Chain A
Amino acid sequence: MRWVNRKMRRNDRMIAGAVPILALLVLYLVMAAQRHALNPSDKILPLPDAMARGLSALLFQADPLSGHFLFWTDTFASLQRLGLGLGIATLGALVAGLVLGVLPPVRATLGPLVTAIAVIPPIALLPVLFIALGLGETAKVALIVVGIAPPMIRDITDHIASLPREQIIKAQTLGASSWQIMIRVALPQAMPRLIQAVRLALGPAWVFLISAEAIAADTGLGYRIFLVRRYLAMDVIIPYVAWIALLAITLDFALSLASRRLFPWAHGASH
């Protein structure tokens, strides 16, 4: 049978998907064990027990200086920045995308500006943001927004502008105004695409968050990783990275589930 025709059953898919992940874990353990056999105090590839010790200090022992449980304050601070950035960017992308997508004069006026902003590497704007907005939370959230909003706006605009012309005409023959077309025809059809855009923006959003935290912060997952890097504390860095991955996967899964639940009409004929 040709490989293009091979179908995988659900259980087989789970097993097949788990194999590379497990293989990577085993590879890591073997390499770590080898290094520890040569040098029991190796810090570069810590064994699981060292990671558990390193992490538990941050999880369960209050920091003597601040009295906070650092793992949780880091997680909370990062998620707050990420949530604010994603929220503002999403709302902005929806409103801007709707207006740009439905109204040709607005698209002609502001479309080139959005394109111009979208091609600027956001990290290059980071100094500008720090200078203009200070080193506080605002600049970090602003970096996420500036980084992910322009591509999201372009995506939503293109999606709405490519709705079949027939739909827009039909709505007008049913008496709809520009405003009514925007809120009843374009907005609902933009929503599944918006969730898709947020899912795709999650990756860049994390990049901008960690970058901002690495440069100027006093708490946050990215701040912690870059702080303990000075002490080669791989026993903290690796669990932190794994935690970030878990958070990102959870967010992505939740968004995908929400889209299927809320907009069944956009996910295939069978519903």
Chain B
Amino acid sequence: MTALLSLRDIWVEFGDKIVLEKINLDVAAGSFVSIVGPSGAGKSSLLRLVLGQEAPSRGTISLDGAVLPPECGPDRGVVFQRYSVFPHLTALQNTMFGLECAQAPLLARLFGSARRAARDEAVAMLEAVGLGDALQLYPAQMSGGMQQRLAIAQALLKRPRILLLDEPFGALDPGIRADMHVLIRRLWREHALTVIMVTHDIREAFSLGTRVLALDKRRHDPHAPHRYGATVVYDLPLRPREDEAPAETAEPEDKTPPQKVAV
């Protein structure tokens, strides 16, 4: 399979502090890539690079063969740990926002039949993530899990080429987190998504991912720890997409950890 996303010789530096060094990475379409690593290893930096929120100091990132500008765009969807939804819009309005922006450049609001069509599409998506009963609720009236479901629905409606998840379930309690794992796995399969997820939770990384990347510093200078950046130290292909079929109802705990593959 050809790479959907490729990073070539990526460096991220802030002043003389090197965050990421020499990252070379190809992400195939349809894969679910989990990124793990210790705090400060640049997991979120890597995600922000792909998102376009930050530009690399060196190197190029290309999507479908085209070099990405250092700016966010509708081809890459994102769900953050917090603040991913608009507090002043109801669930339905939050979900319709993306459609309204695309179809009404000047007012960013739709009327008449266009509005009804967008509404139907948004309702269908909200039902798919289990928010069919919460259309008129504001985010402040929702639990953390519901807000993340809403953020996912919002992102998926734009049919992004890649969905980026930045510790999306980190703030949720364990029961809700397991539900969200089932949901994201189902959506990943049904919508043929390509997902990159940053997580602290190793078990989550292995149970959801088709590939796990571990970021860490390969070298360490005790006198100048900031002069070496993190890079991909482990790149573990777990399973091809097809093997995922029976996993929907399985608990994440049932998964046997895969063999470690030294790089």
Q: How far is the CB of A138 from chain B (nearest CB, A)?
A: 35
- Residue with the greatest number of chain B CB neighbours at <10 A, chosen from A171, A263, A264, A265: A265
The chain A residue sitting closest to B81, CB to CB, is: A166
In the bound complex, residues from chain A placing their C-beta under 8 Å from that of B237 are none
Q: Which of B195-225 contact A (CB under 8 A)?
A: none
A174 touches B108 (CB 8 A): no
- Of the residues B71, B83, B105, contact of A172 by C-beta under 8 Å: B71
Q: In this assembly, does A180 line the interface, its C-beta being within 8 Å of a C-beta of chain B?
A: yes
B258 to chain A, nearest CB (A): 31
* Chain B residue contacts of A165, Cβ below 8 A: 53
Majority SS of interface residues in chain B? Answer: loop
Inter-chain contacts of A188 with B (CB < 8 A): 88-89
Which residue in chain B gives the minimum CB-CB distance to A166?
A: B83
**Set of chain A residues within 8 Å of B155, measured between Cβ atoms:** 173-174
Q: Which residues of A contact B140 (CB under 8 A)?
A: 265, 268-269, 271
Q: Report chain A residues within 8 Å CB of B76.
A: 173
Q: How many residues of A contact B (CB 8 A)?
A: 27
A167→B72 CA distance, assembly (Å): 12
Interface size class of B (residues with CB under 8 A): 35 or more
A167-B86 in contact (CB<8A) = yes
Q: Which residues of A contact B86 (CB under 8 A)?
A: 167, 170-171, 185, 189
A173 touching B138, Cβ below 8 Å: no
Does the CB pair A171–B97 fall under 8 Å? yes
Shortest beta-carbon distance from A182 to chain B in Å: 10
Measured between beta carbons, the chain A residues less than 8 angstroms from B53 are 165, 169
Given contacts A177-B105, A265-B87, contact A169 B154 (CB under 8 A): no
Q: Is A172 in contact with B73, judged by CB distance below 8 angstroms?
A: yes
| A268 partner residues in chain B, CB cutoff 8 A | 140
Q: Does B51 contact A (CB under 8 A)?
A: yes
* Contacts of B73-127 to chain A: CB distance below 8 A: 73-74, 76-78, 80, 82-89, 97-98, 100-102, 105-109
Contact status A164-B78, CB under 8 Å: no
Is A174 in contact with B154, judged by CB distance below 8 angstroms?
yes
Contact of B83 among A164, A173, A269 (CB under 8 A): A164
Q: Which residues of B contact A185 (CB under 8 A)?
A: 86
Check if A183 is an interface residue, CB within 8 A of chain B.
Answer: yes
What are the interface flags for A241-271 relative to B under an 8 Å C-beta threshold, 1 for contact and 0 otherwise? 0000000000000000000000111101101
Inter-subunit contact A180/B108 (CB<8 Å) = yes
A173 to B109, CA, bound (A): 17
B177 at the interface (CB under 8 A from A): no
Which one of A175, A179, A263, A271 contacts B98 once the chains associate, using CB atoms below 8 Å? A175
Alpha-carbon gap, A176 to B141, bound state (A): 25
A267 CB to nearest B CB, Å: 9
Interface residues, chain A, with chain B CB atoms under 8 Å away: 164-167, 169-177, 179-180, 183-185, 188-189, 263-266, 268-269, 271
Top 4 closest A-B pairs, CB basis?
A174-B98, A172-B72, A164-B83, A166-B83
5 further A-B pairs in the complex, CB-CB below 8 A; given A170-B80, A175-B101, A265-B88: A166-B84, A170-B83, A173-B72, A176-B101, A269-B140
